[in-house]
Amino acid sequence: MLSLPLASKRLNLTGVADLVEFQGETPFPVEYKRGKPKLHRADEVQLCAQALCLEEMTGQRVPTGALFYAQTKRRSTVPFDTQLRALTEATIADLATVLASRQTPPPTPHRTRCRACSLLELCRPESVNRPVRQWRDQMLSKALEAP
């Protein structure tokens, strides 16, 4: 599977699409996910962000894309309607605010989301929620046990 680098100067956004099919001149992004569809819209927002990048890059409107979930082996079409586009742009703006603050946000209280997160090793929420002394003591203990 070939991935495609994406960018939008207007949104100050870069990323990589898993797959972009072309239906004539119209790009059709496809995002592959390991699990199953989620109860929130994060996957749809990610796909819509890809569509916004593709629109800027190609000059073509991208009306739909698809999410393929490996667990269900189903591909579902996602229409990029006004509501999803607004949610996506608001999410991008919120992320820009977090990045501009140069402060790491606290981990989500929804711990079940962490298992499937690609940033888990960078975030390390289990370390953030413990007192520093407890973490330090645990790290020292591990270091002393090592041969």
- Answer with the residue of higher pLDDT: 125 or 49: 49
- The residues pairing with 16 across neighbouring beta strands, listed in sequence order, are 5
Give the Cα separation of 44 and 32 in Å (integer): 12
Backbone angles phi, psi at 129, to 5 degrees: -80, -10
Same structural domain, 49 and 60: yes
Query: What are the residues whose beta carbons fall under 8 Å from the beta carbon of 28, sequence distance 6 or more?
Result: 20, 21, 22, 62, 64, 65, 66
Q: Is the pLDDT of residue 22 over 60?
A: yes
Same structural domain, 86 and 135: no
Q: Tell me the pLDDT tens digit for each residue of 73-109.
A: 999 999 999 999 999 999 999 989 988 888 777 777 7
Same structural domain, 25 and 93: yes
Domain count within the chain:
2
Give the Cα separation of 111 and 114 in Å (integer): 5
- The residues pairing with 114 across neighbouring beta strands, listed in sequence order, are none
Contact 36, 72 (CB under 8 A): yes
Query: What are the residues whose beta carbons fall under 8 Å from the beta carbon of 128, sequence distance 6 or more?
Result: 106, 107
Average pLDDT, the chain: 86
* Structural domain range at position 93: 1-103
Give the Cα separation of 43 and 37 in Å (integer): 8
Same structural domain, 77 and 142: no
Same structural domain, 4 and 49: yes
Same structural domain, 40 and 83: yes
Q: Choose from 24-28, 109-113, 143-147 the range with maximum mean pLDDT.
A: 24-28
Same structural domain, 42 and 87: yes
**Number of alpha carbons in the 13 Å side-chain half-sphere of residue 83:** 4
Give the Cα separation of 132 and 110 in Å (integer): 22
- Answer with the residue of higher pLDDT: 37 or 64: 64
Q: Tell me the pLDDT tens digit for each residue of 129-142.
A: 556 567 677 777 77
Contact 51, 40 (CB under 8 A): no
Same structural domain, 109 and 98: no
Q: What proportion of the chain, given as a percentage, has pLDDT over 90?
A: 56
Same structural domain, 52 and 7: yes
CATH of the domain at 11: 3.90.320.10
